[in-house]
Amino acid sequence: MIIKEVNLETVCGYTSKLPDNQKPEIAFAGKSNVGKSSLINALMNRKSLARTSAQPGKTQTINFYNINDVMYLVDLPGYGYAKVAESEKKKWGQMIENYLHNSKQLRAVFLLIDIRHAPSANDKMMYDWIVYQGYEPIIIATKMDKLKRSQISKHVKLVREGLGLKKESIVIPFSATSKQGREEIWNLMDSILES
């Protein structure tokens, strides 16, 4: 897709009603600091429309980016950030569950996992939620630039094993720094939007 126009159209907090969007949505989930906002910026060819931060817990709302008036990229709040109060964590969980359950336009959910580490219990739980809501998560293994080329396939295998993925499940290694994997993700999103 050629990106002509993007804008942050809706920001949903814990108490906000979800927007009644009329165009397909693709959502990005993953633990805090895994690179969701960076991936969305890379996909949109924007440096900083989605606010990123070295501090985990940057995105605490559900942010809907309107792309060319044909689709939305949805930046979900990150989970698993230890320094956040239990009550806050619960709210985030409820927000994400509510969105996955109630969005009428959601077509696919990408789950981001840091390629350097085996998936955590929270990652596994998120994976199971997505499956439970009827979606087949597409895994993006982020920050591939932090590994040597020779280590990548071994780490992809760790991610697959950690989540208990089926053979046919897709894992795409990605780097927001080098943009490796960007084409593949767009090709997949284009095919999702066409189907």
Half-sphere exposure at residue 179, Cβ-oriented, CA atoms within 13 angstroms:
9
CA torsion 114→116→120→126, rounded to 10°? Answer: 20
Q: Pairing mode, if any, of strands 171-173 and 106-114?
A: unpaired
Under the binding rule (CB under 5 A), the answer on residue 143 touching Mg ion is no
- Half-sphere exposure of residue 158: CA atoms within 13 angstroms, side-chain side: 15
Q: Which of 12, 27, 176, 185 binds ligand GTP (CB under 6 A)?
A: 176
Among 62, 67, 142, 155, binds ligand GTP (CB under 6 A): 142
Cα separation of 138 and 131, whole Å?
11
56 binds ligand GTP (CB under 6 A): yes
**Range in contact with ligand GTP (rule: CB under 6 A) among 50-58, 89-97, 152-160, 163-171:** 50-58
In whole angstroms, how close is the CB of 164 to Mg ion at the nearest point? 26
- Quick note: the x/- pattern for Mg ion over 88-117, rule CB under 5 A, is ------------------------------
- Complex with Mg ion: residue 36 or 160, whichever CB lies closer: 36
Stretch binding ligand GTP (CB under 6 A), from 82-90, 157-165, 170-178, 187-195: 170-178
User: Residue 151, interface with ligand GTP (CB under 6 A)?
Assistant: no
CA distances for 144 relative to 43, 54, 130, angstroms:
16, 17, 24
